[in-house]
Amino acid sequence: MSTRERLSGIWLMTTTLLSLFAYTIYFVAQMWLNVLHAAFLTLALLQIAALILYLWGPEKLKSWPLKLLYRLLYASSLFVIPAFAFIFMGLISQYHVRIPDAIPAANMPAEQILPQGQTVIYNTGTVYVIFPEYSEIGLVCENRPSKADASITWCSGAAFQHEISLGFTQENVEGDHAVNGVLYESPYNKDSYAAFTFADGQFSFAFDHPTEAVREAADKGGSGFMQFGLIRDGEIVMSINRPRARCYRTLAELNGNLCVIDSVNMLHFEEFLEELRRLGVTNALYMDMGAGWNYSWFRSAAGKVVTLFGLPVPWSHNWIVFQK
């Protein structure tokens, strides 16, 4: 066996193991994007097929269709490293960045966790309670908000996208939504959706008639969007459970004030809910924290941009922003 053939074998063994490892990470982490799931599984199967043909012996392939097939399978190995890098970055993006300047609040009475007139963050040991400074809250679609915009104090993903798409259409945003007084009706409203709106300087959560609430906000020149209702009047109303540990986020009302609550580390959904109960969260929307939708950053009181999840993806197209 020539040196070239040996190196080819080492390469195929390496890419096969790497593709299987990457797919296992993708599967276990449940980074569920169906198109990518099929692509990564297909890539792993192609590497296995290429390795089997190599071990059988490429020199035994007599017909040109089989030789062409082997070459195509071998060429597919070039996509393994980029695929692994993508999955690795997606996995890393699921881990929350530490916020060292957060106020220790593990032993603080929940009623003392309050805004302070500027962006402030409390760390209860289980969750971060983030009170961004704001005078306006809006929904931004299509073009991702810029960190150079000094008026923005918080930015994170908002509504679901119905389909994974690189292009943007308002119809693909799940749930009726309003952007600066413009109403966009959605064909994908769900009974489990509640609405968050901001108009005339006031925020509101609507559980009974979310579409009407978004329309009313638009009529007032405000913004709003729909997501799964999580907590209503202190009671858990979200029936969809999450079967694994991950970082979670909610847009919430605590002690009569609007805040964002993020888990400090990956934890089970029941643990996240228990901490929300302990704090006495009044109303809340579930904010999906899957890869890409967990993209978020805030501007500290000192004006420094702190990126919590920094991997934007091209199929995420709408964000909630707090502006001072």
37 has pLDDT over 80: no
CB contact at 8 A, 189 and 173: no
**Mean of pLDDT values over 95-114:** 91
**Any idea where the domains of the chain sit in the sequence?**
3-92, 103-323
Phi/psi of residue 28, each to 5°? -65, -40
Name which residue leads in pLDDT, 26 or 161: 161
Which pLDDT score, from 0 to 100, does residue 291 have? Answer: 64
Q: How confident is the model at residue 267 (pLDDT cuts 50, 70, 90)?
A: confident
Report how far apart, in Å, the C-alpha atoms of 145 and of each of 67, 139, 169, 263, 295 are: 50, 10, 17, 23, 11
Distance CA(49)–CA(43), nearest Å, equals 10
34 has pLDDT over 60: no
**Mean of pLDDT values over 224-247:** 87
Identity of residue 55: L
What is the percentage of the chain residues whose pLDDT exceeds 70? 92
Name which residue leads in pLDDT, 114 or 56: 114
DSSP strands (E only) in 135-272:
136-141, 152-157, 177-179, 182-184, 193-199, 202-206, 223-232, 235-236, 249-254, 257-263
145 has pLDDT over 70: yes
221 has pLDDT over 70: yes
**Mean of pLDDT values over 215-230:** 97
Which pLDDT score, from 0 to 100, does residue 297 have? Answer: 95
Name which residue leads in pLDDT, 237 or 97: 237
Which pLDDT score, from 0 to 100, does residue 92 have? Answer: 62
Which pLDDT score, from 0 to 100, does residue 60 have? Answer: 78
185 has pLDDT over 70: yes
**Mean of pLDDT values over 62-81:** 87
223 has pLDDT over 80: yes
Residues found in the chain: 324
Report how far apart, in Å, the C-alpha atoms of 70 and of each of 47, 54, 85, 140 are: 10, 8, 25, 48
Which pLDDT score, from 0 to 100, does residue 107 have? Answer: 94
276 has pLDDT over 90: yes
Name which residue leads in pLDDT, 207 or 22: 207
101 has pLDDT over 80: yes
